[in-house]
Amino acid sequence: MDAGTILSAATGLALLLMCAAFFLTAWRVVRGPTLPDRIVALDMLVATAIGFIAVVAIRTGFALYIDIAIALGLVGFLATAALARFVASRGLPGGEEEEAPPEPTRRRPGRARR
Amino acid sequence: MRRLLAPAVLALAWAAVTGSFAWPNLVLGLAVAALALFFVRGHARAGARPAAVRPGRLLSLLALFVKELALSAWRVAVLVARPRMVLRPGIFAFPLTVTSDFEIALLANLITLTPGTLSVDVSEDRRVLYVHALDCSDPAGARRGIAEGFERKIMEAFR
Amino acid sequence: MTVLLALATAVLVVTGGVFTLLAAVGVVRLPDVYTRMHAASKAGTVGSGLMLLAAGLHSLEGAVLARAVAGVAFFLLTAPVAAHLVARAAHRAGYRPTRLTVLDEMAEARRRAERNRP
């Protein structure tokens, strides 16, 4: 086993794992049900994207990607802070989900929530 | 001397981010740090600065933090990977012994990155920290854990 | 030596990937905003931090590694702040925690304060 094989296998596996993570988080962004849920999921999407960029940095050997990842982290934090301020200033809109579903372990996908 | 702490830390961060610890770069970093601090001068209050810094105790706090962070990520991962999650979430009030803004902010940050706890809010009078816990079946024990762990270490490191 | 370095990088990258995936699973499976935040702010931060460290280690340059370490330190400082901001905003706006919640001393304190107000 040489270094190249190990690295390409590991980064490939990591990309696969993060792909799955990305889609799961995106499902939460679409599904909601509340605005704070979506904000948390978007924050998580940024974290996953940083991971993606770091892996791409390893695969291509361009150290510049690391700077891009750090910059994305900065912007992501600012976005989350701004969205949190929006939630605080808007309050709870009428009609939005008020209570989470009763059982967390079994969640049927198509069930009506309200 | 303590007035120089913030610019020095910022200059070191500048050197790390630009990737060069050469003297001219450090001086440039110091200048940028001074400029940045000048812009926020109206917002920085006396309580935002630690009363004293003990490097040894600070290292021990850092070690505890890294250990707890690893443990916390592991616990969340294990909890989530189980087919049936056992959850008893809740928000408990933690009476603060630390008083300054700096210490409260540090404690809140450390609490968030430790197993099963997340700081939600500080009361108006800065006496109570509200902490959300994934397992809130024993709030008294959780309170004791924070008071004897992080809070004591913070007071040892910065007083 | 290069094999050792590659192995260390590989371990970091895969561990980071596993943590990121588990954080995403947590964001999907946990019942309310507050519990989801636990998964996103802890496992998610550790995941992307490990990835960044791996990238810094792989480059074998002091400058790049220093930048990666500074980036990780920055994430560790901002992730709890972001989680705290969202949690506080959500709780103040009135988003209720899940029914499984056993204790909410923050809501109790707020109700008490409202009762005392004339």
Helix, strand, coil proportions of chain A in percent (round to 5)?
Answer: 70, 0, 30
Residues A43 and C71: their CA atoms lie apart, in Å, by: 16
Closest residue in chain C to residue B105, using alpha carbons only: C81
Test B87 with A104 for CB contact under 8 angstroms.
yes
Name the domain count of chain A.
Answer: 1
Predicted pLDDT at A22: 92
* Test mutation, B118, B124, B128, chain C, max C CBs within 10 A: B118
Reading the block at residue B148, the tokens are 């004897």
Which chain C residue lies closest to B68 (C-alpha atoms)? Answer: C42
Contacts of C110 (CB under 8 A, 6+ apart): none
Within a domain: A97: no
- Mean pLDDT for C82-100 is 81
Please report whether residue A19 resides in a domain.
Answer: yes
Q: Which chains touch C (3 or more CB pairs under 8 A)?
A: A, B
C85, C102, C110: best mutation site toward chain A, by most A Cβ within 10 Å?
C85
Confidence grade of residue A48 (pLDDT, cut at 50, 70, 90): very high
Residue A105 included in any domain: no
Q: What is the pLDDT of residues B50-90, one digit of tens each?
A: 666 777 777 888 888 888 888 888 888 888 888 777 777 88
Cβ–Cβ below 8 Å for A105 and B83: yes
% of chain A at pLDDT higher than 90? 23
- Indicate whether A106 pLDDT > 50: no
> Where in the sequence is the domain holding A41, given as residue range(s)?
3-90
Asked if the Cβ–Cβ distance from A104 to B17 is below 8 Å, we say no
> ipTM of the predicted structure?
0.84
Rounded mean pLDDT, C102-111: 72
With CA atoms as reference, report the closest residue to A32 among C32, C100, C101, B77. Answer: C32
User: Which of A40-44, B106-110, C35-39, C104-108 reaches the highest mean pLDDT?
Assistant: A40-44
Beta-sheet strand order (sheet of B90-95): B117-122, B128-133, B90-95, C103-104
Shortest distance, CA A105 to any CA of chain B (angstroms): 6
Mean pLDDT across chain A, nearest whole number? 80
Range in A8-12, B26-30, C108-112 the model is least confident about:
C108-112
Asked if residues B119 and B100 have their Cβ atoms less than 8 Å apart, the reply is no
CB atoms within 10 A of CB A95: 7
Which of B7, B12, B95, B96 has the alpha carbon at shortest distance from B44? Answer: B7
Using the predicted structure, report yes or no on whether residue A105 has a pLDDT greater than 50. no
Residue A19 is predicted with a pLDDT of 92
**C48-75, pLDDT tens digit by residue?**
899 999 988 888 887 888 888 888 888 8
| DSSP string of C3-34, one letter each residue | HHHHHHHHHHHHHHHHHHHHHHHHHHHSSSHH
In a domain, A102, yes or no: no
- The SS3 call for residue C88 is helix
Distance CA C18, CA C44 (A): 10
